[in-house]
A and B are shown apart, each in its own frame.
Chain A
Amino acid sequence: MTPEEEQEFKRRRKSRNLVLGLVLLGMVVLFYAITIVRIGAQ
């Protein structure tokens, strides 16, 4: 792998990890909100 390819490899991996992190964070917030609403309804 050339240095340019390696740089591209790392860039792609980083952006994927960032998006995955944001998705997980969003899920945590959503599940927290759902739990609060469900408990509130009971």
Chain B
Amino acid sequence: MNTAPTAAETLEQEALVATPVPARMPAEWRDFFALTKPKVMRLVVFTALCGLLAAPGSIHPVIGFTAILCITLAAGGAGALNMWWEADIDAKMKRTQGRPLPQGKVQPTDARDFGLLLSGMSVMVMGLAVHWLAAGFLAFSIFFYVVIYTMWLKPRTPQNIVIGGAAGAFPPLIGWIAVTGEITWMPVLLFAIIFMWTPPHFWALALWAKPDYAAANLPMMPNVAGETSTRRQSLAYSVLLLPLSVTPWLIGGTGAIYGISALVLSSIFLALTVPVGLRSSVEGDKMKPEKKLFAFSILYLFVLFGALVVDRMVLA
């Protein structure tokens, strides 16, 4: 049996060898930076820094800087892993369609490896340079955000952001532990404040992005329990946030600068949540009260934690 290739087959094989495989355009460094969710990271860095500065005791500036850097890298790593896992969901939502993975700018495996590298490095350096208890909490916060929230809760329950909000509440606690090396009531209260703040903050966004979440088939509270229930629950969390935010002052953990700031800010927060909590949207609604609440909720956290640091500086 003649197995020698024909002239046509030889030409075809040569053509296959000679034709270069089209090289994939490498992702830009900006695309990897975008994977870290820089906008979310700003709030994480700020609250972590405030936790670190408000904690009793002192920390060497280099070690303090390292602690904040590790928390930042961990948040970035967790963000990249979240984008890797949710690439198909992101492609369906207007708000997230422009992200590097749905755009095809970064390969999914590259995003995953980048996230794992940042997460692993941040925990290792935190442990070796700062404190292993802080590193333990950092590792747990990454696990909580990526596995508990992103992979498990988000696609399954409308309570996803309530429980998942805990992941975002860890930074000030870790910043505090980096200084003190132990857990006391104060960092737990800071954790609880962000935990209680997350539902009204996030549901304000979810209320006007309802069609987006429906398109992505995500069981967000407005899509599952309905708008009215979401609005009432937002109001309930805001009512609880008011006394909770003042508690650090009441137990003597802070001075009056923080206490009065918390009282004023939480009262405004509640005043803005009341119209959101009691109204119903109509066809073609611009959702102004919800957008106003969402914008103020970000300012709220910045000013509240800023006041905590100023209070500590004045007391010190």
Contact = CB atoms under 8 A, between A and B. Distances in A.
Interface string A1-40: 1000100110011011001100000000010011001100
Nearest to B24: A9
B28 A16 contact: yes
A21 B309 CA distance: 35
A33 to B, nearest CB: 5
A34 B20 contact: no
A34 B66 contact: yes
A20 B27 CA distance: 13
A16 to B, nearest CB: 5
30 contacts: A1-B20, A1-B22, A1-B23, A5-B25, A8-B25, A9-B23, A9-B25, A9-B26, A12-B25, A12-B26, A12-B27, A12-B28, A15-B29, A16-B26, A16-B27, A16-B28, A16-B29, A19-B29, A20-B29, A30-B69, A33-B62, A34-B62, A34-B63, A34-B66, A34-B129, A37-B60, A37-B62, A37-B63, A38-B129, A41-B60
Q: Is the interface of A mostly helix, strand, loop or mixed?
A: helix
Contact of B66 (A13, A30, A41): A30
A13 B26 contact: yes
Interface string B69-109: 10000000000000000000000000000000000000000
Contacts of B66: 30, 34
Interface of B: 20, 22-23, 25-29, 60, 62-63, 66, 69, 129
Interface residues on A, range: 10 to 19
Contacts, number: 33
A3 B62 CA distance: 47
A34 B61 CA distance: 10
A15 B129 contact: no
Residue of B20, B22, B60, B69 with highest tally of chain A CB at under 10 A: B60
Nearest to B28: A12
A8 B69 CA distance: 32
Instruction: List the 7 shortest-distance A-B pairs measured between CB atoms, nearest first.
Output: A19-B29, A34-B129, A37-B62, A33-B62, A12-B26, A16-B29, A37-B60
A1 to B, nearest CB: 6
Contacts of A9: 23, 25-26
B171 to A, nearest CB: 20
Nearest to B22: A1
A41 B60 CA distance: 10
Contacts of B23: 1, 9
Contacts of A38: 129
A33 B181 CA distance: 21
A36 to B, nearest CB: 8
Nearest to B25: A9
Residue of A9, A20, A34, A41 with highest tally of chain B CB at under 10 A: A34
B266 to A, nearest CB: 38
A7 B22 CA distance: 14
Nearest to A20: B29
B76 to A, nearest CB: 12
A19 B26 CA distance: 14
B191 to A, nearest CB: 27
A16 B114 CA distance: 14
Nearest to A12: B26
